[in-house]
Amino acid sequence: MKSFFLGVLAVVAVFLVIGYIGVVTGTLIPANADGTPGKLERWAARQSLKATIAREAPSGAAPIPANDETLNAGIKIYGDNCIVCHGAADGRPSTVGFGLYQKAPLLGKHGVEDDPEGEIYWKVDHGIRLTGMPAFGHTLSDTQVWQVAVFLKHMDSLPPASNAKWRALKNPAMLVPTDKLPKQMRPKSSD
C-alpha cells in the first residue's frame, strides 16, 4: 500500500514539475494578448468567473429605477468609460477593443440584456482579471456603477429619447478598418 501512495505522489510531482516548467517558459500559458489560449486556460477562467459572480454578485433588482434619468446617466457613463473597448450602437470595433485578449464584447451588437443586473454590476464594479476589463468601482460611485448596469440591462428596450442618445454616441477611438475585420464581423454592405 505504501508503494502505491508513493507512486501516486511521484506522478503528481512529475505533473507539477511539467506544469511549472510550462508556465515559467511560457509554453503552457502564453503571455501575449494575441496568443490563442489553451482549453485548460479557457475552462479555468470561465469556471473561476462563474463561481466568483455566483458568490459575490448582488441578487435581485437594482436599487435604482430604470427610468429616463438613470438610463441617460448610464449612457453618459458608458460613453465616457466603456465605448472605447465595447463600441457604440453601430457595433464597430475600435483598435483598442479588437486588440484585447479576450476581445471586448461589442455591446451594441451582442449586449448583456439577458444577464442579471447584479452580474452586470459586479463585472463593471470589479472588472474581469486578465481580460483588460478594468474595475470601475475604484473610479465610479456605487450609483454610477448601477446606472451603467441598468442601461446595459435595458439597452435593447430603451425609451425613444434614451435610445436616440445611445444611437448618437460615437466611438472616439480609431475604428478597425473593414478589410482587417474577420468576415463575420464585417458590415453586411461590404461583403
Compute CA distances 164 → 28, 51, 123, 161, 172, whole Å. Answer: 47, 37, 26, 5, 18
Residue carrying the nine cell digits 448618437: 168
- Per-residue cell: 136: 470601475
Q: What does the pLDDT look like over 138-164, one tens digit per residue?
A: 999 999 999 999 999 999 999 999 999
The predicted pLDDT at position 183 comes to 76
Higher pLDDT, 15 or 156: 156
Question: Region 165-181: what's the mean pLDDT?
Answer: 86
- DSSP SS3 for 94: strand
Compute CA distances 87 → 6, 110, 147, whole Å. Answer: 55, 11, 18
Classify domain 63-178 at the CATH topology level.
Cytochrome Bc1 Complex; Chain D, domain 2 (1.10.760)
Q: In the chain, where does DSSP find H-type helix?
A: 2-24, 39-56, 68-81, 83-86, 95-98, 117-126, 142-154, 160-168
pTM of the model: 0.81
Which among 172, 54, 165, 162 has a CA at the least distance from the CA of 116? 54
The predicted pLDDT at position 190 comes to 46
Q: What percent of the chain is modeled with pLDDT above 70?
A: 93
- Give me the residue spans of the domains in the chain: 63-178
The predicted pLDDT at position 101 comes to 78
Q: What does the pLDDT look like over 60-118, one tens digit per residue?
A: 899 999 999 999 999 999 999 999 999 999 988 888 888 887 888 999 988 899 999 99
